[in-house]
Amino acid sequence: MILKRNIFSAILFLLFLATPSFISFNAFADRLLHDKAQYHSNLWERVRSGFALALPPNNKAIRKIAASYIQNPQAFNRIVTNGERYLFYIMEEVERRGMPMEIALLPIIESAYDPLLKSNKQAAGLWQFIPETGRIMGLEQTVWHDDRRDIVASTQAALDYLQYLYQRFDNWKLALAAYNLGEGAVSKILAKHIHKGRSINFYDVNLPSEVKHYIYKILAMKDIVVNAKKYGLQLRSVPNRPYFDTVKIHDHIDIPLVARLANISEVEFTALNPAYNRYVIKVSDQPRTLLVPKEKKEVFVRNLETYHDPRISWQFYRVKKGEKISEIATRHETTVKQLQVINGIARNKNLTLGQKILVPQIVAENRVNNSSLKKRAQRDQSLVYVVRRGDTLYELAKRYRTTVDQIKRWNNSDENLSIGQKLVMLKG
């Protein structure tokens, strides 16, 4: 298979040299990808066409594993549904690098396509990088942001790592085994086989049973995708087009505000941008790249450009000498627990001099706003309601015996609710 791929690459290169337009090889590759996108309407068809790993001589183990996955078709389809956001991007990157398409199914085994999954060994993200390997592969991990959960960064790092492992072991199944067990452990096992003059074919190598089972699970996923009907499974059709697009953010911004400006739910935002650990997206020297559904990019960019109110409801505060978190919480009209949660501060941990933490935005402005709201409430025989998680305008209108439109008129607002927002409500 490798020989065939090298011959095919050589043919492409010769065609490239003969092309009078002198287009670059990358542009030529992009054109090939575009043609494939046009040819396949269902993404699964395109995935199937890129499979390259052979099944073992005895397929009983593969069928047994596949059967265990499809015993609960609802659970399996949930995994597939989770992956629909990411599969096109991963598939195109795998295809662009000339890697076996089975690798696009690897996140099913690693994380069930759940980028928020964290294992007992502290592995995180679609590709389940442990902290040390993540750092080696250049994945930033701070209290604000964890690139191991970033869809684009983690995918690029995982594919880079797998290509490195393939170059080292010259076999994709051994490369995948090293991804699971560790390259050092696989190298030692192979060295013993070579020293004893034994075969280093994947099926002959004395790998731990759980590692071979890991490879069989990947091959079982391939078998399910290829032979879904044989297993009595109906794979949901996935459009063969990008699910998301990228937008650069140059300033700090609240996550709920991003969701509101993009006209998406916070659940959808988190599914596409699971790397952010806090309520606020912190931007340092370099802009941050956000993912938004492709059809929402235009409206998000337009809303962001025309939005002139403060983009964060929290501000950065530098801790002074001897300050306690309880004092800062009182001064900024919040609670110790909320400051601990928003800043990732352990319950019994003291603050340090110069430490930067998030506190509610500009207390003076809050007091002015609170004062005007209270005066308005007293004048109109009304009360001030602070929006909580899960509140909706419909539920509030029902509770206060009014209408959604009336609440919007009382508050001179036509926007969605945000947690902590203060609403004037007339007593019914």
- Catalytic residue positions? 110
Nearest to residue 53, comparing CAs of 187, 184, 200, 203? Answer: 203
* Interior/surface letters 148-187, b for 16+ CB within 10 angstroms, e for the rest: bbbbbbbbbbbbebbeebbeebebbbbbbbbbbbebeebe
Instruction: Confirm if 421 and 411 have CB atoms less than 8 A apart.
Output: no
What is the distance of C-alpha 181 from the center of its chain? 24
Of 215, 221, 206, nearest to 180 (Cα)? Answer: 215
Distance (Å, whole) CA 426 – CA 378 = 10
Q: At 165, is the secondary structure helix, strand, or coil? A: helix
Length of the chain equals 428
Alpha carbon 302 to its chain centroid, in Å, reads: 24
Contact 90, 107 (CB under 8 A): yes
Based on the number of CB atoms within 10 Å of its own CB, is 345 exposed (0-12), middle (13-18) or buried (19 or more)? Answer: middle
Q: Label residue 203 left, alpha or beta by phi (over 0 means left) and psi (-120 to 50 means alpha).
A: alpha
| Sequence-separated (6 or more) residues with CB below 8 Å from residue 192 | 206
- How far is residue 368's CA from residue 374's CA, in Å, rounded to a whole number? 10
What is the spatial distance between Cα 308 and Cα 311, in angstroms, rounded to a whole number? Answer: 8
